[in-house]
Amino acid sequence: MNDRNIKNKILNFAKKDDRVRAVLLNGSRANPKIKPDQYQDFDLLFIVTDIESFIADKDWTSFIGKVLIQQLPDQMLLGNDPDVDRITFAYLMIFEDENRVDLTLFPIDKFHSHFKSDSLTEVWVDKDLLFTKIAPANDHDYHIAKPTERMFIETCNEFWWVCTYVAKGLARREILYAKDTMERVIRPMFMNLIAWHIGVEKKFQVAFGKSGRFAEKHLDPKLYQSILQTYADTSIDNNWLALVQMMTLFKDLQKDLALHFEYRINVDEANNSYNYILKIRNSQ
């Protein structure tokens, strides 16, 4: 099934079913800056009446095609707080033709109190004229944002503090612990600085993308290759090299960003952590 066929199926269903009041396309398929490919999801928002009828009938999406695998995240305990009331309901589906549709139901009675606009929105159906003033789809809402001074300082502190845990894991040859801590805790802090660096270079007019998916096209090739060197295999020695590379890059970026933003910087914290970790490594 091609893109046009999926869109036509969605439009035909929505126009015939009076419960569906609006259909919005969000995400990368609504982003004019992203070249389409076969792996893009259809991120759809259905604004509906009688949302419970769509939740009770799990087969209503069969008009799109045969589902190979699906997830209903709003019915799962995993990743959800049972004490928080959720007003939307999502169907995440991969179909037999390999197209993926992430379809979220939104109750129209909550529209004025809970709906949040998204700059990456293309209106497919609008029966009640809710979106007559919407701007053409653009990625403005996803542009890199300048950090506050507090956010910058705390990001740096988190990085330098938790780096010592990675070093401890490597010194003990506990590769699972070391890699988990590196990727789950300090990598996000490191990527924050990469994003802010790009933001400064591009005047905060570009998006970083999930997990930095757009970073390569915005970075100097030499810096990008240096970042790739912070990813290692399961070798203890290679993970030491990756950690030191990450710390070196972080230290330089931290200094440059602080100078640009005119933010305070804890030079002693960075130097002390860096030297402490090198001492551990050299003792191995």
In angstroms, the first-to-last Cα distance of the chain is 57
- Residues 188 and 148 reside in one and the same domain: yes
* Angle value at C-alpha 230, between 228 and 231, nearest 5 degrees: 75
pLDDT for 84 beyond 90: no
pLDDT tens for each residue of 157-216: 999 999 999 999 999 999 999 999 999 999 999 999 999 999 999 999 999 999 999 999
DSSP bridge pairs for 71: 92
**Residue 205 shares a structural domain with residue 117:** no
| Of residues 41, 48, 43, 42, the one with CA closest to residue 14 | 48
Q: In CATH, what number is assigned to the domain containing residue 73?
A: 3.30.460.10
Instruction: Check whether residue 180 and residue 192 sit in a common domain.
Output: yes
Rounded Cα gap, residues 46 and 195, in angstroms: 32
* Tokens 């893109």, residue located: 3
The confidence score (pLDDT) of residue 2 equals 67
Cross-strand bridge partners of residue 70: 93
167, 198 Cβ separation under 8 angstroms: no
Q: In what order do the strands lie in the sheet with 42-48?
A: 67-71, 89-95, 100-107, 42-48, 20-26, 121-126
Same domain, 185 and 114: no
pLDDT of amino acid 86: 86
* Window from 82-96, 104-118, 174-188 with minimum mean pLDDT: 82-96
Burial class (CB in 10 A: 0-12, 13-18, 19+), 123: middle
pLDDT digits (tens, 9 = 90+) for 56-78: 999 999 999 999 999 999 999 88
Give the pLDDT confidence score for residue 195 in this predicted structure.
98
Whole-number pLDDT of residue 15: 95
How do residues 114-138 score in pLDDT, each as one tens digit? 999 999 999 999 999 999 999 999 9
**125 & 205 share domain:** no
* pLDDT at residue 1 is higher than 60: no
For residue 284, give the nearest of 167, 140, 128 by alpha carbon: 167
Same domain, 122 and 237: no
Angle between helices 236-261 and 267-282 (to 10 degrees): 170
Indicate the residue among 141, 165, 200 that finishes a domain.
141
> Domain check: are 75 and 197 in the same one?
no
Tell me the pLDDT band of 95, cut-offs 50, 70 and 90.
Answer: very high
The mean pLDDT value of the chain amounts to 96
pTM: 0.91
Number of domains in the chain: 2
For residue 118, what pLDDT is reported?
96
Return the pLDDT at 83.
Answer: 75
Q: What pLDDT score was predicted for residue 77?
A: 87
CB 102 within 8 A of CB 90: yes
* Same domain membership, residue 61 and residue 25: yes
Task: Supply the CATH number for residue 259's domain.
Answer: 1.20.120.330
- Is residue 269 located within the same domain as residue 249? yes
Residue 120 shares a structural domain with residue 208: no
The CA radius of gyration of the chain, in Å to the nearest whole number, is: 23
Strand ranges inside the chain, DSSP E: 20-26, 42-48, 67-71, 89-95, 100-107, 121-126
**Predicted confidence (pLDDT) per residue in 7-21, tens digit:** 999 999 999 999 999
* Domain final position from 141, 172, 190: 141
Whole-number Å distance between alpha carbons of 105 and 90: 6
148 lies in the same domain as 244: yes
The residue from 108, 141, 174 where one domain ends is 141
How far apart, in whole angstroms, are the C-alpha atoms of residue 145 and residue 256? 17
- pLDDT of 38 above 60: yes
178 vs 164: CA distance, rounded Å: 10
| Per-residue model confidence as pLDDT tens digits over 242-278 | 999 999 999 999 999 999 999 999 999 999 999 999 9
* Structural domain containing residue 75: 3-141
Please tell me whether residues 15 and 136 are part of one structural domain: yes
